[in-house]
Amino acid sequence: MATASVTIGVFDSGVGGLSVLRHIRNTLPTARLLYVADSAHVPYGDKSPHYIEQRSVKLTRFMVEQGADAIVIACNTATAAAAATLRQQFTLPIIGMEPAVKPAVAATRSGVVGVLATIGTLESARFAALLERYAGNVKIVTQGCPGLVEQVEAGDLHGIYTRELIERYSAPLLEKGADTLILGCTHYPFLARLIREVAGDNVTLVDTGAAVARHLQHRLLTELPANSSGGDSSASFFTSGEPEQASHIMSLLWGHPVEAIKLPSAYA
């Protein structure tokens, strides 16, 4: 199919998935994009898998009704909790996220890889399977990061408290010899500059946004019919939270003015 004629639905617990949406826009510049920030329920990291699964089904159903031809779960925690269920309930391509263990293992020189992620991601069976499959002889050290998602949601990417959190969470990984850090949450790429300042230039930061966009492109080329809907290059933004606040933060992170639309009550 021609990927110009496609509508991509992307959702996250909040605004972090915009880091993935940026890669999708770069890879598929003429696609129609739908983005849903589930900000009334952020963060997902402290929610139960069942709760996240229910939210994911609702958001996916909304985007399908808006004409989505494929769905990207731009959240590691939601992927772990809901990807299998979404693939059972919906026939369109469902693209998930996972911490970039394989490329990080390939990149490390010290043999130690650190993972910054939400508690929900680190405790998931999906993450355990990734480690078993790809870690090999590399030592993987993990660190849950409560509070970082909230800092990004507030648009505080460079503040004192945000730096303090990053220093607190990265220190144990660096002390154990990690020279490669996996950004295991889609919110964290927006903190990459600050993480690099704290960790140093010799530490490699790895996230999966670009790889997800390439995988999405491959799935579209091989699976969707040529008459898929969309193709108007627009981007529409929705939130389950407060639209004015969401518009402000999304504009900051997206790099262009954004007007967030409130989700209908049945989905919010």
Report the catalytic residues: 75, 185
Residue 189 DSSP class: G
Q: Which amino acid is at 217?
A: Q
N-to-C CA span, the chain: 33
Dihedral-angle region of residue 234 (phi above 0 means left; psi in -120 to 50 means alpha; beta otherwise): beta
Q: Which amino acid is at 97?
A: M
Give me the helix-helix angle, 243-254 and 18-27, nearest 10°: 50
Q: At which residue do the structure tokens 């990004």 appear?
A: 152
- What are the respective helix, strand and coil percentages of the chain, to the nearest 5? 45, 15, 35
> CA-based Rg of the chain, rounded to a whole angstrom?
18
Cβ neighbors of 119 (< 8 A, separation 6 or more) are 45, 46, 144, 146
